[in-house]
Amino acid sequence: MMNLLHDISLKPYNTFGIDVVAKQGFVELRCASDYDSFAEYISQNKQMLDHLFILGGGSNVVFSGDYDGLVVHPADPIDGGIRLLSSDGDICMVEARAGVVWDDFVSFCIRNGWYGLENLAGIPGTVGASPVQNIGAYGREAKDVIDRVHVYDLWHDSQCWFENSECHFGYRHSIFKEIGRARYLVDRVVFRLASHFVPDLSYKGLEEAWNSIDEHEREFVDDATLMSMTVRKVRNSKLPDPKYIGSAGSFFKNPVVDGDVYRHLKELYPNVVAFPAGDNKYKISAGWMIEQCGWKGRDMGEAGVYEKQALVLVNRGRCTGSDVVALAESVINDVYSRFGIKLNPEAIIV
């Protein structure tokens, strides 16, 4: 039986801390039978597909107001939700349920000697969202470790596996995002991890932090744990901790422009921060442009631009969705007036 709850505040379910409700109810999924009951409900109420939002940890979502539909939330599983499927000495196949908290999963794997997730430590959210978003940090992406993804196809009342190559992984992108409205409900993900730890230091800032670790510290903590601790430390110096400051992480995408546009910009602003993006294109740092427009550390209403990282919008206290949207629009307009480049949100505005 599906447990449909009403008038539940979504404030604890989104890291921005926006206080809204889902007008047509809220459903938590904790075990396999909850997923089955929910899929059964949708198959009998297909009209709900137009008014359905799958909410994981709510760490990349901004609710602009009460949600005019039903919110379904894969929650922390009753049974822990993580199991080792196989291990052949080099490779471990590990399955995790969608509602498992991502960072708990990372720590659990390291404790059990299953490696490959260390650089992704500290990312908020759930395991279920990791393939949807193809989360990434410090030179690693979820696609590097995901073997396959199991979903409920809510349009066709069926269940299926997507192999890694079928997931259409790209930069913070996957097939699960391609269709604008809810179709695929991820219920579990299988990861291909390694039995031996090899540090991935491809990200320069991380290599510096890793090399500066005290020898004394190395004696007492194993390398994989030390790596995840280093990653969390580097992250905390730049990003707000959702426990204390509400945000949705990087709010804007870094825009990619043609080589001509980049060269013109470089003439006007020799210190522009940009990275080659292949195919004669350049990724311009949105944070740099926002900072140049004087927004870093500034507030508008109860929403603000984070003082340590201009790409992040934060909740200054009692922020509403409209505060965030109004601030985002002002930032977008100012950046466009000054640089002629339109910023797009990375956060999902619902």
Ligand X SMILES: Cc1cc2nc3c(=O)[nH]c(=O)nc-3n(C[C@H](O)[C@H](O)[C@H](O)COP(=O)(O)OP(=O)(O)OC[C@H]3O[C@@H](n4cnc5c(N)ncnc54)[C@H](O)[C@@H]3O)c2cc1C
Active-site annotation, residues: 172, 250, 346
Work out whether 313 is an interface residue with ligand X (CB under 6 A).
Answer: no
CA distance 103 to 110: 11
Work out whether 348 is an interface residue with ligand X (CB under 6 A).
Answer: yes
Minimum Å distance from CB 281 to ligand X? 21
CA distance 110 to 273: 35
Work out whether 94 is an interface residue with ligand X (CB under 6 A).
Answer: no
The residue type found at 302 is E
The residue among 185 and 335 lying less far from ligand X, judged by its C-beta, is 185
Minimum Å distance from CB 264 to ligand X? 31
The residue type found at 144 is D
Number of residues that bind ligand X (CB under 6 A): 36
- Contact segment (CB under 6 A) with ligand X among 83-91, 244-252, 266-274, 320-328 equals 244-252
The residue among 59 and 292 lying less far from ligand X, judged by its C-beta, is 59
Work out whether 60 is an interface residue with ligand X (CB under 6 A).
Answer: yes
Q: Are strands 82-87 and 91-97 parallel, antiparallel or unpaired?
A: antiparallel
Position among 17, 56, 81, 304 found at the interface with ligand X (CB under 6 A): 56
Tokens of residue 350, six digits: 């619902």
Q: How many helices (H) and strands (E) does the chain have?
A: 10, 19
CB neighbourhood size of 334 (10 A): 17
Mask: binding to ligand X, 98-117, rule CB under 6 A, as x and -? x-------------------
Work out whether 59 is an interface residue with ligand X (CB under 6 A).
Answer: yes
**Start-end of H helices in the chain:** 32-44, 102-111, 129-133, 175-178, 204-211, 215-220, 223-238, 259-268, 286-292, 321-339
Tokens of residue 4, six digits: 């449909």
Work out whether 119 is an interface residue with ligand X (CB under 6 A).
Answer: no
Using the structure block, give the residue that is written with the tokens 């908020």: 124
Work out whether 61 is an interface residue with ligand X (CB under 6 A).
Answer: yes
Work out whether 129 is an interface residue with ligand X (CB under 6 A).
Answer: yes
Work out whether 286 is an interface residue with ligand X (CB under 6 A).
Answer: no
Work out whether 77 is an interface residue with ligand X (CB under 6 A).
Answer: no
CA distance 175 to 121: 24
- Contact segment (CB under 6 A) with ligand X among 209-217, 246-254, 280-288, 330-338 equals 246-254
Contact criterion met (CB below 8 Å) for 318 and 304: no
Work out whether 230 is an interface residue with ligand X (CB under 6 A).
Answer: no
User: Cβ contacts of residue 94 below 8 Å, gap of 6+?
Assistant: 82, 83, 84, 85, 109, 114, 190, 191, 193
Position among 119, 174, 247, 320 found at the interface with ligand X (CB under 6 A): 247
Residues that bind ligand X (CB under 6 A): 15, 53-61, 74, 98, 123-126, 128-130, 132-133, 135-137, 172, 176, 184-186, 239-240, 242, 247-249, 348
